[in-house]
Every structure is written in C-alpha cells, then in structure tokens.
Amino acid sequence: MPVWSPDGTRIAYISGTSPNDFDLWVMNADGSHPVRLTQHSSNQGDPNWSPDGHWIAFDMERDIYVIGADGSNMVRITDGGRANDIAPDWR
C-alpha cells in the first residue's frame, strides 16, 4: 500500500510487526528517515495523500481518519459503518 506524495519526495505506507498491529509510516523517496505517524492497536490501511501533501487520509477499524503528514492533528472523519471495499479518496 505505498503511495507517493504529490510532489514525489515522500512515501506513505502501512507497516507492522505482527498480523494485528499495522501503523501508518512516512519516509523520504529514497527510503531514508522512516517516521511512524500512528501507534494504535488497530490496523490501519489505504493511505492517501491530500493534493497539497499536508495531510494523509487512511482507514482504521471501519472509519476514515485524516492526519497531518508530520503526524499531528489526527481526526476521525467518519463514525462507523464504512464499507470495507471503499478506500479514502480526496476527490
């Protein structure tokens, strides 16, 4: 699930150490400086950059969240019931 930032300088991706513990990460395009943006016991998935590259939308436990690309200001924007096959999209 890696996705390039709109300016092509960073990659957002989901990674984890166990089948039930995945978090959202961002790294530079060359693979350097990986930064974990979330630390939750719930799986995250489907990262999607905002057009300006300042935000990343992702899903977690059937809800859609938005977080600053620096890991700040995480906000849940749905309240349950998201269909499993619909990924966050900025359109």
Residues 91, 38, 83: CA angle, nearest 5 degrees: 45
pLDDT tens-digit readout, 10-26: 999 999 877 777 899 99
Per-residue pLDDT at 84: 60
Handedness of CA 13, 16, 22, 24 (dihedral sign): negative
pLDDT < 70 regions, the chain: 81-86
